[in-house]
Amino acid sequence: MKKIMIALSMILAMPSMAQKTSDVTLHMDEAKQKINKEIYGQFAEHLGTCIYGGIWVGKDSEIPNTDGYRNDVLQALKDIRVPVMRWPGGCFADEYHWQDGIGPQENRPRMVNNNWGGTVEDNSFGTHEFLNLCELLGCEPYVSMNVGSGTVEETAKWVEYMTAKDGPMAKLRKQNGRENPWKVYYIGVGNESWGCGGNMRPEYYGDLYRRYSTYCREYNGNRLYKIASGASDYDYNWTEVMMKNVGHRMNGLSLHYYTCYSWNKSKGSATDFTRDQYYWTVAKCGVGIEEVLQKQIAIMDKYDPRNRVALLVDEWGTWWDEEPGSVRGHLYQQNTMRDAMVAAISLNTFHQYTKRVKMTNIAQVANVLQSMVLTKGDKMVLTPTYHVFRMYVDNMEAVNIPVAVNCDTFTAENEREESGRTAPYISASASKMSDGTVNVNLVNADLDNSNKVTVKLDGMKGKVVNARILTSKDMKDHNTFEVPNKVVPVDFKGAKINKNGELVVDMPKMAIITLQIK
């Protein structure tokens, strides 16, 4: 194994000798499945400074805010058109008791966040604050119920509190300042019930899902989309049991998939990593997640051939060691060009499976794991991952165009696993908007070589507009509060349509490019 790794390292260390070439073919006639905007969903958990300091500073803060929400973060999230946000967890959801987070903030009880660093939670950000945030952003709320330590009655009353026009819970809501009910569509019945959500067996959780979901009632025409707690990446038995026993009772089944170098003592540094670790990461977020999706979807197809139950990857992204000097258990990590690659390649992959995958939620919005923004006091910095979401925004609600990629591959090894992964250097996806504009999304993961990519347009005619590129000199480059614009997208001039009607793109090494043809 070591000899293979050394050989790979030597190959990857060789200087670029020539520009590589690749082909991408768009199958326009097979474009049928819409890319739900919810594929670009977000996740905000009571974890570290994701909520407090990241989104919420309170109305009395000196940091510019609107009703307690940071103005800079609000605008950043509006700019990427956040379609749906999942809350309050995560592991926190199954220890959260919603009635602690309503009423006058000064009267709300405090609790210890046992999952994440033992931080004292003051409950100043609760149901009203979250649902009002979703209204400000124009996004759908996705609320996770407490199945691990909560009761059926608690779940039933929470749904009533949020969505009923009349009744005891509606009266309580009105007393707390909200006359009209909110529109709440997505309801998560527990979270990671195989782990922090109760360490349950799938058979046991399946029975609990039947019970808890029964009492998630629909009030006054508000429809509920009920989501069962699903598997972690390679746990195919959990999916099998859930689909067999309760598949007909759910609208969606969740799936969690994180990209890291190891789940042992060290997950690897967010900013100090090797070339081998970079390539392993690229392979794990690309072919790795695709293999998992294919196997999970095959199980769902067996029990649900009519495709009635959606697969929701409601936690995904990179998970590295916490930054040195940060609070243990707060999962604060930096965000480099490598993370941008993970975001782009993952989104390209999700686009291909939108027949079954209807929502994904990257973890998390602010200051936690692969976040959109980092905040410190009154400062905010946009991460490379944020810029990918901004570049990809026009794919929302467009129709996915299936693509075929012909390019060189690499094999990445991990000394902690028995076998390597072979993955392509080029990742691609495409979509067609309602006005006929075609979006083309390209990634060159090669650290050493540029690549001339010829995109065969299947007879489409037009010209290149709105081309953007995200790249940097080093795979470890990232944005800081002192240097916030080290990794930012700029206009791209290296694409043209040749006389044969093909799109030719001269891609630099380690680059993400989005273009539109109109």
Residue positions annotated with a catalytic role:
192, 315
How far is 224 from 479, CA to CA, in rounded Å? 40
How far is 447 from 282, CA to CA, in rounded Å? 11
Do 460 and 440 meet the contact criterion of CB atoms below 8 Å apart? no
On the 0-12 / 13-18 / 19+ scale of CB atoms within 10 A, 463 is exposed
Do 115 and 92 meet the contact criterion of CB atoms below 8 Å apart? yes
Give the phi and the psi of residue 116 in degrees, each rounded to 5.
-125, 80
CA distances to 220, 354, 412 from 370, in Å = 38, 23, 22
In sequence order, the 6+-apart residues with CB closer than 8 A to the CB of 158 are 98, 127, 143, 145
Which own/partner contact pairs does 485-492 have at CB distance under 8 Å and 24+ positions apart?
Answer: 487/336, 487/337, 487/340, 487/384, 487/387, 488/382, 488/387, 489/387, 489/390, 489/391, 491/467, 492/467, 492/468
| Strand partners for 444 | 426, 511
Q: Residue 69 belongs to what H/E stretch?
A: strand 69-70
How far is 263 from 267, CA to CA, in rounded Å? 6
3-state secondary structure of 59: coil
Which own/partner contact pairs does 410-413 have at CB distance under 8 Å and 24+ positions apart?
Answer: 410/8, 410/12, 410/279, 410/283, 411/8, 412/8, 412/276, 412/279, 412/280, 412/282, 412/283, 413/1, 413/4, 413/5, 413/8, 413/276, 413/280
Q: Crossing angle of helices 236-246/202-214, nearest 10°?
A: 40
Do 47 and 363 meet the contact criterion of CB atoms below 8 Å apart? no
Residues in the chain: 518
In one letter, which amino acid is 432?
K
How far is 337 from 316, CA to CA, in rounded Å? 17
Closest CA to 439 of 455, 450, 416: 455
Do 51 and 105 meet the contact criterion of CB atoms below 8 Å apart? no
3-state secondary structure of 260: coil
